[in-house]
Structure 1
Amino acid sequence: MKVHFKTPQKTLVKAVFLDRDGTINNNQTGYTYKINDFVCLPGVIESLVKFSKTSYKIIILTNQSGIGRKYFSFSQFHKLNNWMLKEFKKNNVRIDKVFFCPHHPQNNCSCRKPKPGLIIQAVQTFGISLEESWLIGDDERDIILAKTVNLRSIKIGAKISRKLKLEPNYYVKNLPEALDIITNQDRLSLL
């Protein structure tokens, strides 16, 4: 099912939507909510520094069901999120906003990926052109979300199960490779 919604009437901007756990940081614990457990994957900071110089909005979309499951609190999530954003800023990485879903998977909310609620919030906040934007993630839910709202997508890591019958635009090993693809495509479109 495709989702269609109106974007604000102002000039539309491009965005790169990034999953957090497993795309930006190592996700060995399954629920990253402690500062000591947050470790950026190799090359992430350097590639985000370069990408921060582009005209794309850089937006993180993250499911944080650990809140809904009572594994950690809103306060613990915000503490880690604020620390992460400060660390990125110290390293000249621009993150325009983090949108998150705190709900338990059984809550049936509209914001838990692959549902489009987080994307809708971002579009309404920034006036984003989905046709000119990308979603990068390591989970099948990220690719399902991208297809639902007609975003180009890049899957990090393993291939998607054939049962889903959908494919991202690209498969890559890591976030630096994904951001290089977007940068190179933009260069080609200027020729």
Structure 2
Amino acid sequence: MSLSSLQIDKEWSLFLDRDGVLNERIVDGYVTRWEEFNFLPDVLEAMKVFDELFGRIVVVSNQQGIGKEIMTEGDVVKVHEKLEEQVKKNGGRIDSIYFSPHLAKEGNIMRKPNVGMALKARRDFPEIRFRLSVMAGDKLSDMVFGRRLGMKTVFISDNIRDLRKGHKLIDFAFPDLQAFASHLNQSH
């Protein structure tokens, strides 16, 4: 299967993880305020490409720092408002951002790899069809999330060993979001 064979158009939806995909992941920590949020290189350019190709673009992010009381839901909402603002200002689009405040050990339906955030997105955007959706993330739990819903999965990692894994949950792998966007753009 190749990306071009998917014939991605405005009927397709893109689900994106946040930390490690859109912004730098803080090792053993959390983005608790906007000043700690650093876009990964060329993400804003990639978001412009995605805006042209996908009908819906949503972010789905586990934010267990809330459950650990390191930050509040309000803190996360403020970061997400700035994220959406910056993407829009640079010619891209995020239709909605969903996050789970739950701890990993809780096993809550809203926390990836469980599918609660995707179901909520489909309630908000009934035109979303999971079989015409792509999940891009940097963890295998993102791939499980996508696969459970019948989505195509894109693994984002700059670690060459990760990209060579060829894991059965991974349909496509790219070193970063811009490489994924460039590949899609060339396929169009």
Q: TM-score range by the shorter chain?
A: 0.7 to 0.9
Q: Secondary structure at the match of 2:112?
A: coil
Cα gap change, 1:67 to 1:53, in 2 (>3 Å): same
After TM superposition, the score normalised by the length of structure 2 is 0.84
The residue that corresponds to 1:86 in the other structure is 85
Q: Secondary structure at the match of 1:69?
A: coil
The residue that corresponds to 2:4 in the other structure is none
Decide which of 170, 177, 180 is 2:179's aligned counterpart: 177
Q: What is the alpha-carbon root mean square deviation over aligned residues?
A: 2.1
User: What does residue range 1-191 of structure 1 map to in structure 2 within 5 Å?
Assistant: 13-29=11-27, 30-127=29-126, 128-157=128-157, 158=159, 159=162, 166-185=168-187, 187=188
The residue that corresponds to 1:3 in the other structure is none
Alpha-carbon shift at residue 89 of structure 1 (Å):
1.6
After alignment, is 151-160 or 65-74 more displaced?
Answer: 151-160
Alpha-carbon shift at residue 107 of structure 1 (Å):
2.0
Paired amino acid for 1:51:
F
Paired amino acid for 1:132:
L
- In the alignment, the residues of structure 2 paired with residue 43 and residue 161 of structure 1 have an alpha-carbon distance, to the nearest angstrom, of 23
Alpha-carbon shift at residue 180 of structure 1 (Å):
3.1
Counting aligned pairs with the same residue, the percent is 25
Q: Note the alpha carbon deviations across 1:81-132, whole angstroms, 9 max, x for none.
A: 1111112221122100001101111222101000011111112211211111
- In the alignment, the residues of structure 2 paired with residue 102 and residue 88 of structure 1 have an alpha-carbon distance, to the nearest angstrom, of 23
Q: Note the alpha carbon deviations across 1:23-66, whole angstroms, 9 max, x for none.
A: 00001243112111111101110111122122421100000000
Gaps of 5+ in 1: 1-11
Q: Secondary structure at the match of 2:65?
A: helix
- In the alignment, the residues of structure 1 paired with residue 139 and residue 54 of structure 2 have an alpha-carbon distance, to the nearest angstrom, of 26
Gaps of 5+ in 2: 1-9
Query: How many positions carry a matched residue from both structures?
Result: 174
Structure 1 segments of 4+ aligned residues over 6 angstroms from their partners? none
